[in-house]
């Protein structure tokens, strides 16, 4: 492979240039890691920027006006994203989730969605293309996203009380505008729509029941997520985590629920159904009940680094391969080698340690959620 000089615009997190195996074999779609976990889900961050400053993700004291976001030259182009996605699909990926930052801040995102929507699995099936958003721009963009080929959206919403919501997003954004975005998304057919509420004890746990009441019988699947120790800037403390069992207890006391089976192998949310037929809720117990054993997700950062775990501190620089002229077969070989060597199970290992214990080694910088997407 001919060497080319690439100007390094940003070195944000540690990343290796992947090794290209000497013996290349065509992807079979049956790739699995050291724990027999297949590769089925690819989460693609399209921007590291966001217009919210939620304390659990992008606290304003860190991500302020002086924070240096990635320059445009560092970002993968839509053509590069599509090329890499096609390689991952050949290895077995069936679901694509576009994330950020706030993905709707990426200009002309509909063009990328159109490009991804043309891809098919080896069996000729379309990809499941979804997007996670804070919904601040969703009302105006929902129709064009749907027309481009987006199938579903997941909205991050941490409460219905306007004062609480404005305090948590830390940019004084009104909850009414998010609710409008949800309404428009449902009308244009971006469904089934899911809503993710990060529950932080003492901050917004009083919003659990109001959220459940509001979204019952709406066709929306409301999911409660335990406050996670992602990255190093959110000041995470175990005493601010509300276990999912307590969330379910609160809801069950007013609206009896029963557990139901997962939709698919590796689903992160535990599913519950209202006994009176009012719909479905879910809990993502990322702290108290690790689900590493079924994790089939890879994450691609805005600048083309492949991460194998949400809690990783080391990435694999696929952009370097792309821009140094590697062929698709070589990149596919490198990706296959990386996944086959995967051992990540951070949450399971942490669960065996005392509360507030970190597995990050001295000098390591764990990747931030705003950089890699949730």
Residue 1 lies in a domain: no
pLDDT, tens digit (0-9, with 9 covering 90-100), for 241-252: 999 999 999 999
Bridge partner residues of 281 (DSSP): 222, 272
d(CA 228, CA 261): 24
Q: Is residue 69 part of a domain?
A: yes
**CB contact at 8 A, 324 and 1:** yes
Considering the domain boundaries, does residue 8 fall inside one? no
Question: Per the structure, how many domains does the chain have?
Answer: 1
**Residue 354: its pLDDT value, please?**
63
H-state helical runs in 49-174: 78-90, 109-117, 138-148, 162-169
pLDDT digits (tens, 9 = 90+) for 216-263: 999 999 999 998 766 555 666 777 899 999 999 999 999 999 999 988
Is this prediction's pTM over 0.85? yes
Q: Which pLDDT score, from 0 to 100, does residue 33 have?
A: 94
Domain that holds residue 45: 15-352+359-372
Q: How much is the pLDDT for 99?
A: 96
CATH of the domain at 342: 3.20.20.70
| Beta-carbon contacts of residue 336 (< 8 Å; ≥ 6 apart) | 21, 25, 27, 31, 91
Position 268 scores a pLDDT of: 81
pLDDT of 49: 95
Measured distance CA(148)–CA(190) in Å, rounded: 12
What is the pLDDT, as a whole number, of residue 359?
A: 60
Strand partners, 221: 194
Name residues of the chain where pLDDT drops below 50.
1-10
| CA neighbor of 211 nearest in space, from 141, 256, 159, 284 | 159
145 lies in a domain? yes
Task: Identify whether 2 is part of a domain.
Answer: no
Q: Is residue 268 part of a domain?
A: yes
Token representation of residue 139: 């009302």
Q: What is the pLDDT of residue 193?
A: 97
Is the residue at 7 inside a domain? no
Please check whether residue 276 lies inside any domain of the structure: yes
- Tokens matching residue 59: 């606290």
């Amino acid at each position: 492979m001919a060497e080319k000089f690439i100007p390094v615009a940003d070195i944000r997190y540690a990343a290796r240039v992947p090794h290209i195996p000497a013996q290349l074999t065509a992807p079979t779609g049956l790739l699995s890691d050291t724990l027999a976990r297949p590769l089925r889900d690819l989460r693609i961050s399209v921007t590291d920027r966001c217009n919210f400053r939620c304390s659990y993700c992008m606290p304003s004291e860190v991500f302020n006006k002086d924070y240096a976001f990635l320059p445009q030259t560092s970002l993968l182009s839509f053509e590069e994203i599509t090329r890499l996605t096609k390689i991952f699909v050949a290895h077995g990926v069936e679901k694509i989730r576009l994330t950020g930052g706030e993905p709707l801040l990426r200009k002309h995102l509909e063009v990328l969605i159109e490009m991804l929507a043309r891809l098919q699995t080896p069996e000729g099936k379309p990809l499941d293309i979804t997007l996670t958003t804070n919904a601040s721009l969703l009302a105006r963009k929902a129709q064009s996203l749907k027309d481009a080929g987006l199938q579903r959206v997941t909205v991050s919403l941490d409460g219905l009380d306007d004062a609480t919501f404005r305090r948590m997003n830390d940019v004084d954004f009104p909850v009414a505008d998010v609710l409008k975005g949800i309404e428009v998304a449902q009308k244009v057919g971006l469904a089934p729509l899911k809503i993710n509420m990060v529950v932080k004890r003492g901050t917004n746990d009083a919003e659990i029941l109001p959220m459940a009441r509001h979204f019952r019988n709406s066709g929306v699947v409301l999911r409660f997520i335990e406050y996670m120790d992602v990255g190093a800037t959110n000041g995470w403390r175990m005493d601010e985590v509300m276990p999912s069992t307590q969330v379910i207890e609160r809801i069950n006391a007013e609206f009896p629920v029963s557990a139901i089976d997962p939709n698919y192998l590796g689903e992160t949310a535990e599913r519950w159904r209202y006994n009176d037929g009012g719909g479905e809720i879910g809990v993502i117990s990322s702290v108290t009940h690790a689900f590493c054993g079924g994790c089939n997700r890879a994450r691609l950062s805005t600048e083309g680094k492949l991460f194998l775990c949400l809690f990783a501190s080391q990435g694999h620089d696929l952009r370097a391969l792309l821009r140094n002229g590697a062929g698709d077969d070589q990149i596919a070989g490198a990706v296959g080698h990386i996944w086959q060597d995967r051992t990540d199970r951070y949450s399971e290992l942490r669960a065996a340690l005392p509360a507030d214990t970190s597995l990050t080694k001295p000098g390591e910088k764990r990747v931030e959620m705003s950089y890699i997407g949730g």
